[in-house]
Structure 1
Amino acid sequence: MSLKQPTETRQAALVAAALALAAERSPATVTTAELAQAVGITQGAVFRHFENKEAIWLAVIDHAHHTLLNRLQTAASAHATPLPALHAVFMAHVDFVVEHPGVPRLIFQELQQPHDTPLKARVRRLMHDYRLLLTRLLQQAQDQQALQPGTDLQAAAVLFIGSVQGLVMQSLLSGQVGAMRVQAPVVYQLLQQALAAPRHTHSPQETP
C-alpha cells in the first residue's frame, strides 16, 4: 500500500466532516477543532493533512466539482435525445444539493467576498465546466430543431443554472432543502416551455 493512503483517507474524512458541518450552519463558523473532533484526530493533526482551513474548503470545492459533474454527465448519458437529458441533468443537480447543502452554502458565502480568492477561482472553474455540458446538450437540441428558433444558447444555459440556483436559495432560506425535489419538476416544466420548440413541449420524462 502507498504511504500516501493514510493522508488521503484523512483528507477525505476532513472534507466529509466539513461538508456535514456546513450543511448545518455557515461554513465561516466551522473551526478546525470541530473538524478534528468529527474525524477523531487532534487539532494539530489537521494541519499535517491540510496547510490551513482554506485548503480544506478548496478540497471541498474540488470534491464537489468532481462529484457533481460526474453525476450530471451520467444523468445526461442515460438519454438518447437532448431534452430528456437536460431534464435529467436538472434533477441530478437538485438531488446533489439536497444531499450536500453545505456546497451551495460555501459557494454563496464565498461569492459575497469583494476580492478575488482561490475559492472563487475554483467555483468559476466548476461553473465553466457545467456551462460546457449544458451548451453541448443545448447545441444538440438546437441541431435537432428541438429549441425555439433563434434561441441564444449561452442565455439558455444561464437561465437553466439560474433556475436551479433560485430553487437552492429558496430552500436554504426556508430551511427545507428537501422541498426542492417537489418544486423542481414544475420549475423545469416552465423552463422547457420557454426553450422548447412547440412540438417538443411534451413531458420531459418522455423520450422520443
Structure 2
Amino acid sequence: MTEDIDGGIDEGTGVRLRPLREGDAPRLLEMLHDPDQQRWGSPAFVPLPADVAELAERIAASSRAWADRQPGTLAITDADDVFLGDISWRWSASERMAVADLGYVVHPDARGRGVGRRAIVLLTRWLMDPDGRGLARVQLDHSTENEASCRVALAAGFEREGVRRGFLPLRGPDGVVRRHDVCLHGTVVQPTG
C-alpha cells in the first residue's frame, strides 16, 4: 500500500482514495442527487446541496481531515483520477475505542464494477494498518432493503453481525420519510480483496 500526504491511498487495485478536489464537484453533485443515493444512502435529515458551490466546504473539509489523518471523506477515483464515488469514516463512539464506521457512495455510472468493494477494502486496510490508524475494528451498516450494499459488504470481507431495528430515517422515492432497519457488518481482521 502506498500513501502520501497529498495524493491519498493506492494499492494497485484499480481504485485510489484521495481528498476531494474542486474538479470532483460536478460528479459529486450528480451522485448525491441520484434517486438511488437519496433512497438508500442519505439520511432524511441531511440537506442535499443545490449546486456545486454548496460543496466547497465539504471539499475543503476532506483535505483538512486527510492532512491531519482524522475522520472524513475521501474521493474514490480510477487510475486516470476520474471521480467514481466517495468513502468516509468516522469514530463509532470515541477515538479511544479504535472503532470506525464507514459509509460509501458510488456514482451511478461506476456501479456494478466492484468500485465500492475495492474502496472499502483499501480504506479498511489503511485504518487497521499499524502505520495508518491501527484501529481494532471497522464496521458499516445499510438498510436491510438495500441488498446490493449487503453484497458489497460481504464481498469486502465484512461479516454480517445483526440488525438494528428502526435505525435509519430515509427518504423514499415519493419523498416520504420512514425509518429503516439496518444490517450491521464488521471486521476485526484485514479483509481480503
With the length of structure 2 as denominator, give the TM-score of the two structures: 0.32
Q: Which has the higher helix share?
A: 1
Q: Which has the higher contact order (CA 8 A, sep 6+)?
A: 1
